[in-house]
Amino acid sequence: MTRDPMPNAFRPGAVDLPPAEADLVARRQAALGPAYRLFYQRPLHLVRGEGVWLYDAEGRAYLDTYNNVASVGHCHPRVVAAMAGQAAQLASHTRYLHDGVLTLAERLLATLPAAIGHMMFTCTGSEANDLALRIARAATGGTGIIVTENAYHGVTASVAEFSPSLGAGVPLGAHVRTVPPPDPRRLGADAAAGFAAAVQGAIDDLRRHGIKPAVLIVDTVFSSDGVFAAPDLLAGAVAAIRAAGGLFIADEVQPGFGRLGQGMWGFARHGVVPDMVSMGKPMGNGYPVAGLALRPEVIAEFGAHARYFNTFGGNAVAAATALAVLDVIADEDLIANAARTGALFAEGLRDLASRHPIMGDLRAQGLFLGQDILTPDGAPDAQTCAVLVNGLRDEGVLISATGPAGHVLKIRPPLTFSADNVAFFLDRLTRVLKRLP
Ligand SMILES: Cc1ncc(COP(=O)(O)O)c(C=O)c1O
């Protein structure tokens, strides 16, 4: 199946742009080439961010309900001060002794189950998943990988091979099998059992083809599959991959760092302890810092034969920045805020849905919400979803769409989002809904 993985993307020539934006678009195409995409039919030229707000070149404010990188708020002064302070003192890598990276590792490990004893640092989530795969291959002797049907795990050559949401232009590896996400509409009321059975089926198929399973890797809130936020979905699937000699990797790049309003990590809601946990995006609130937490026994084989060095991963500035993010999450009580404001948000969307039947199922946990947009006869409606995304952009609210059909509004604001911000969002969404034919 060929599909555009970004149905909301700007298409050159589709709309008339003011001269300044048209010039930037032309320069961008000339300098960056054809593989990049821009959000929105009318692209945004952002110049500044503060808290939950982003500002364009004309000074117009946009409420950010999508950007899960700046998760403690854009340009948080404490994070910026920590980053700048360390950059002014020493910016170096992990081949010298330095307290920062060790304190960061210890602080992160303290948030994880006791069985997870080591932290390794990278610059991006893609690199963390790539490293996880190398370690898993060494630990298991296998190569087979199981992912969900519309998963996204990153951009390196080996990780793109198990990121089906990149679309038909990026073929999956012959050693990769996909399973449906734990969607009760597809797998039955007991989605956990259905998911475990699907993973077992994938294991059996790998073996039939002579491929030894190495990993099951899932985003623990199934973001790109359309957001599946129910708890207790993974135990059976994790047991199945372990029984087959493989490992379970929790990809926390999207749900991690408190977004779900229940502890720091999405996997904990499923009652499982992963073999490895990859993390990134919100970890540095905009600074590129990511990492991999793992059980010591998993890295024993790899560590005996390979050495690991990543020039920028875990550098002193990255460590200072990520430590400041952890401090802000704790000191501003952001996990509790994600739970409280997320519940308000979900209530407001359900109320709106009672008056607008195109708003179908809502799946929400903390400040991660997925709202289905449907045709009058209940089918996924990517076209109307794109109209909402672009209409909200024109109303000063930034959002995007997700899911295999692109019909799920993906709502993922900074963890500092307030009740007033929710009211603003709902007001603007109401306006856009009223304008629909
Ligand atoms: C679930 C998930 N894993 C991994 C990645 C890759 O992270 P990065 O873009 O930092 O390489 C992403 C990025 O969107 C992601 O959403």
SS3 track for the chain: CCCCCCCCCCCCCCCCCCHHHHHHHHHHHHHHCCCCCCCCCCCCCEEEEEECEEEECCCCEEEECCCCCCCCCECCHHHHHHHHHHHHHCCCCCCCCCHHHHHHHHHHHHCCCCCCCEEEEECCHHHHHHHHHHHHHHHHCCCEEEEECCCCCCCCHHHHCCCHHHCCCCCCCCCEEEECCCCHHHHCCCHHHHHHHHHHHHHHHHHHCCCCEEEEEEECCCCCCCCCCCCCCCHHHHHHHHHCCCEEEEECCCCCCCCCCCCCCHHHHHCCCCCEEEECHHHHECECCEEEEECHHHHHHHHHHCCCCCCCCCCHHHHHHHHHHHHHHHHCCHHHHHHHHHHHHHHHHHHHHCCCCCEEEEEEECCEEEEEEECCCCCECHHHHHHHHHHHHHCCEECEEECCCCCEEEECCCCCCCHHHHHHHHHHHHHHHHHCC
Compute the distance from residue 284 Cα to the ligand 1 centre, in Å: 14
Mean pLDDT of 379-405: 96
CB atoms within 10 A of CB 224: 24
Find where tokens 């509790």 sit.
Answer: 336
Render pLDDT for 134-155 as a digit per residue (tens, 0 to 9): 999 999 999 999 999 999 999 9
Compute the distance from residue 86 Cα to the ligand 1 centre, in Å: 26
CB 359 within 8 A of CB 373: yes
Asked if residue 400 has its Cβ within 6 Å of ligand 1, the reply is no
Q: Residue 331 is which amino acid? A: D
The pTM of the full predicted model, rounded to 2 decimals, is: 0.96
Q: Residue 7 is which amino acid? A: P
Asked if residue 154 has its Cβ within 6 Å of ligand 1, the reply is yes
Compute the distance from residue 364 Cα to the ligand 1 centre, in Å: 20
Asked if residue 256 has its Cβ within 6 Å of ligand 1, the reply is no
CB atoms within 10 A of CB 204: 14
Compute the distance from residue 296 Cα to the ligand 1 centre, in Å: 24
Please identify, by atom number, the ligand 1 atom nearest to the C-alpha of residue 125.
7
Asked if residue 162 has its Cβ within 6 Å of ligand 1, the reply is no
Strand order in the sheet with 368-373: 359-365, 368-373, 408-411, 400-402
Task: Determine which residue's CA is closest to atom 4 belonging to ligand 1.
Answer: 153
Which residue did the predictor score with more confidence, 176 or 35? 176
Mean pLDDT of 249-263: 98
Q: How confident is the model at residue 212 (pLDDT cuts 50, 70, 90)?
A: very high
Compute the distance from residue 165 Cα to the ligand 1 centre, in Å: 12
Percentage with pLDDT > 70 across the chain: 98
Per-residue model confidence (pLDDT) at position 302: 93
CA dist 393 and 15 (Å) reads 15
Asked if residue 195 has pLDDT above 70, the reply is yes
Render pLDDT for 104-145 as a digit per residue (tens, 0 to 9): 999 999 999 999 999 999 999 999 999 999 999 999 999 999
Asked if residue 165 has its Cβ within 6 Å of ligand 1, the reply is no
Compute the distance from residue 4 Cα to the ligand 1 centre, in Å: 18
Asked if residue 336 has pLDDT above 70, the reply is yes
Compute the distance from residue 70 Cα to the ligand 1 centre, in Å: 14
Structural tokens at position 160: 């793109």
Compute the distance from residue 208 Cα to the ligand 1 centre, in Å: 31
Compute the distance from residue 433 Cα to the ligand 1 centre, in Å: 31
Please identify, by atom number, the ligand 1 atom nearest to the C-alpha of residue 155.
11
Residues contacting 413, CB < 8 A, separation 6+ = 52, 63, 64, 65, 66, 67, 367, 421
Please identify, by atom number, the ligand 1 atom nearest to the C-alpha of residue 290.
10
Structural tokens at position 236: 């059976």
Asked if residue 126 has its Cβ within 6 Å of ligand 1, the reply is yes
Structural tokens at position 184: 């009760």
Asked if residue 380 has pLDDT above 60, the reply is yes
Compute the distance from residue 145 Cα to the ligand 1 centre, in Å: 17
Per-residue model confidence (pLDDT) at position 6: 57
Cα angle 113, 118, 122; round to 5:
115
Mean pLDDT, all residues of the chain: 95
Render pLDDT for 337-354 as a digit per residue (tens, 0 to 9): 999 999 999 999 999 999
| Residues, the chain | 437
Asked if residue 7 has pLDDT above 60, the reply is no
Render pLDDT for 225-247 as a digit per residue (tens, 0 to 9): 999 999 999 999 999 999 999 99
Compute the distance from residue 275 Cα to the ligand 1 centre, in Å: 19
Mean pLDDT of 57-79: 96
Q: How confident is the model at residue 2 (pLDDT cuts 50, 70, 90)?
A: very low
Please identify, by atom number, the ligand 1 atom nearest to the C-alpha of residue 127.
11
Mean pLDDT of 38-67: 96
Q: How confident is the model at residue 15 (pLDDT cuts 50, 70, 90)?
A: confident
CA dist 410 and 175 (Å) reads 30
Please identify, by atom number, the ligand 1 atom nearest to the C-alpha of residue 223.
1
Asked if residue 410 has its Cβ within 6 Å of ligand 1, the reply is no
Compute the distance from residue 264 Cα to the ligand 1 centre, in Å: 17
Closest by alpha carbon to 290, among 268, 244, 322, 261? 322
CA dist 269 and 221 (Å) reads 10
Asked if residue 124 has its Cβ within 6 Å of ligand 1, the reply is yes
Asked if residue 153 has its Cβ within 6 Å of ligand 1, the reply is yes
CA dist 2 and 17 (Å) reads 29
Per-residue model confidence (pLDDT) at position 137: 97
Mean pLDDT of 243-261: 98
Q: How confident is the model at residue 5 (pLDDT cuts 50, 70, 90)?
A: very low
Structural tokens at position 201: 């089926």
Compute the distance from residue 234 Cα to the ligand 1 centre, in Å: 20
Mean pLDDT of 270-281: 98
Asked if residue 266 has its Cβ within 6 Å of ligand 1, the reply is no
Render pLDDT for 350-373 as a digit per residue (tens, 0 to 9): 999 999 999 999 999 999 999 999
Asked if residue 125 has its Cβ within 6 Å of ligand 1, the reply is yes
CA dist 69 and 247 (Å) reads 28
Structural tokens at position 116: 């997870």
CA dist 307 and 155 (Å) reads 23
Q: How confident is the model at residue 169 (pLDDT cuts 50, 70, 90)?
A: confident
Greatest CA separation for the chain: 64
Mean pLDDT of 69-74: 97
Counting ligand 1 atoms within 8 A of each CB, the residue from 6, 121, 126 with the most, and so the one to mutate, is: 126
Closest by alpha carbon to 139, among 131, 128, 147? 131
Mean pLDDT of 299-326: 96
CA dist 105 and 98 (Å) reads 12
Asked if residue 5 has its Cβ within 6 Å of ligand 1, the reply is no
CA dist 182 and 191 (Å) reads 5
